[in-house]
Amino acid sequence: MNTIVSEPLAERECPDAPQAGLKSSVFAELYTEHSRAIYYLCLRLLSDPEKAEDATHDVFLKAFRKMHQFRGESSWRTWLYRIAINHCRNLQAAWHDRHMLSNADDAVWENTAATTDSPLRVLETKELGERIQKALDGLPPEYRLLLLLVADEQLSYEQVGALTEQSADAVRGKLHRARKTFAVLFQQTA
């Protein structure tokens, strides 16, 4: 059995055309290296483990079909994230997501005394995922996506900006409010 190499795929040259044995090999490594990030994004965007599982499957199936079109203009990670974001958006549009907050709700968080500079403390890490999900569900969709992408250390602000169709400076600017809003909502889940 071949060894899964530890060099990040994102930093490797991608195949610009399918070659014998390479396509399947790269896909296996692609799944091994990025499935956790893609599943986590789908899970937190869709708020449902079963839907996240379906979405992750569909994202990688799309990737499998489209791998030969990947030209290395972005990293594999970014490419997969783009597929996942579009897929989740399509699903959410179809479900008429009822939990979205309008921008008008931002004022609520702006006027709330949130201490984003202080550490976020949790007494019980077992329920952390549930609390995070509740807090994320209360965020405007743009903030939710920004926080999830910025939390991935493999992505730069420029890459997050490209994925969310805005400049890196705009990402930085919105992050402050996103963090503050999240902190308020997270405290409410205690």
Partner 1 sequence: MKRQTKLTQQEQEQLAAAQQQTQSSSPREFASVEEMLRHDALHTPVPPTIAHRLEESTSQLPPPPGRAWWRRFFGG
Distance separating alpha carbons of residues 137 and 186, to the nearest angstrom: 10
* Amino acid sitting at position 161: G
Alpha helices in 16-105 (DSSP H): 22-46, 49-66, 76-95
* Interaction residues for partner 1, span 71-130 (CB under 8 A): 116, 119-126, 128-129
3 state DSSP class of 16: coil
Question: Cβ of residue 22: shortest distance to partner 1, in angstroms?
Answer: 7
- Please check whether residue 145 is in contact with residue 45, taking contact to mean a CB–CB distance below 8 angstroms: yes
Distance separating alpha carbons of residues 81 and 52, to the nearest angstrom: 14
Task: Name which of 22 and 100 has its Cβ closer to partner 1.
Answer: 22
Instruction: Show the tokens assigned to 48.
Output: 């449902």
Task: Name which of 100 and 128 has its Cβ closer to partner 1.
Answer: 128
Distance separating alpha carbons of residues 92 and 42, to the nearest angstrom: 11
Is residue 33 part of the contact set for partner 1 (CB under 8 A)?
yes
- Member of 64, 112, 134, 164 binding partner 1 (CB under 8 A): 64
Is residue 69 part of the contact set for partner 1 (CB under 8 A)?
no
Is residue 22 part of the contact set for partner 1 (CB under 8 A)?
yes
Total residues interacting with partner 1, rule: CB under 8 A: 60
Distance separating alpha carbons of residues 57 and 109, to the nearest angstrom: 36
Question: Cβ of residue 183: shortest distance to partner 1, in angstroms?
Answer: 7
Is residue 179 part of the contact set for partner 1 (CB under 8 A)?
yes
Torsion angle of alpha carbons 159, 165, 166, 168, nearest 10°? Answer: 0
Where does this chain bind partner 1 (CB under 8 A)? 1-2, 4, 6, 8, 18-25, 27-28, 31-37, 39-40, 43, 49, 53, 56-57, 60-61, 64-65, 116, 119-126, 128-129, 132, 147-148, 150-157, 178-179, 182-183, 186
